[in-house]
Amino acid sequence: MDAADMGRDLSNVLISEDELQTKIKELAGQIDADYAGKDLLIVGVLKGAVMIMADLARALHIPVQMDWMAVSSYGAGTKSSGVVRVLKDLDTDIANRHVLVVEDIIDSGLTLSWLLNNLQSRNPASAEICALLRKPDAVKVPIDVKYVGFDIPSEFVIGYGLDYAERYRNLPFIGTLAPHVYGGE
């Protein structure tokens, strides 16, 4: 799926496919250097992180293992509540392992804050975060994000794993939706 397939539903391309892929190679280079000689498990948070996990893993030169978690915020609406339910846990025991959580976006920061605490309680050798996108509110939550792709404005973004009502995840870029899609003018 690309911009032409979106027609009038696309408002703006915020981060192009080229910009994403260049940034992912840069992040992979940092991760390669930081974890050289170490055994690394990368953990993707479903479903949004599928694209970044797939591209990041292929851009890395170090061998990694891959695992997945699925979590869901309690409560209605689109905002995180900070209370998280684990829908799918890791298949892997992470005690004494180096873990890197890979996320598509940090918005309020509440999901990752909870997730990192949860993983820390399993006594990993280390637990760090790589987030492709970070919104301004996330800065207010005291979590240390080791790798950030792009700091973006507080807009509703879609594409490259990010959805609106489960659609648009399969766009190769990050974009914004035209207001008519979600009921605006």
**Side chain identity at 134, as an amino acid letter?**
R
107 is catalytic: yes
Q: How many CB atoms lie within 10 A of CB 108?
A: 17
- Going by the DSSP 8-state scheme, the letter that residue 162 receives in this structure is B
CA distance 100 to 123: 14
48, 149, 159, 175: which one binds ligand PRP (CB under 6 A): 48
CB of 63 to ligand PRP, least distance (A): 26
| Host H or E run for residue 80 | none
Instruction: Given the residues 18, 93, 107, 163, select the one marked as catalytic.
Output: 107
- Please tell me whether residue 160 binds ligand PRP under the rule CB under 6 A: no
- Please tell me whether residue 111 binds ligand PRP under the rule CB under 6 A: yes
Part of the chain binding ligand PRP (CB under 6 A), chosen from 8-16, 34-42, 97-105, 144-152: 97-105
| 4 CB-contact burial (10 Å; exposed 0-12 / middle 13-18 / buried 19+) | exposed
- Please tell me whether residue 149 binds ligand PRP under the rule CB under 6 A: no
Contact residues toward ligand PRP (CB under 6 A) are 45-48, 80, 103-111, 163
